[in-house]
Amino acid sequence: MADGEVIQGSAKTPADFLKSIKGKPVVVKLNSGVDYRGILACLDGYMNIAMEQTEEYVNGQLKNKYGDAFIRGNNVLYISTVRS
């Protein structure tokens, strides 16, 4: 395969990924190391995130449960889907 060649059907942009996980369980890791796990309700171009059924984990241990949570985008290290 030559440089720049894309395999048919396998190319996804980050925007495509984010659209595909809306309404699904995700893990949001903050720069501080804290994880938030819940349902991705929505996000914007600045990576500000709204989540539902949110749980806060510190050092892998559950610390709090929130109904809805709003996370400012500049605090986000990454967003990951939850493996089932």
Residue 59, CA distances (Å) to 16, 31, 32 in order: 30, 13, 11
| Residue whose C-alpha is closest to residue 80's, from 26, 16, 21, 32 | 26
- Please give the model's pTM, rounded to 2 decimal places: 0.81
The pLDDT value recorded for residue 79 is 94
Entry field: residues in the chain? 84
Q: What is the Cα–Cα distance from 58 to 27, expressed in whole angstroms?
A: 13
Taking only the tens place, the pLDDT of each residue in 14-40 is 888 888 999 999 999 999 999 999 999
Phi, psi of 75 (to 5 degrees): -90, -10
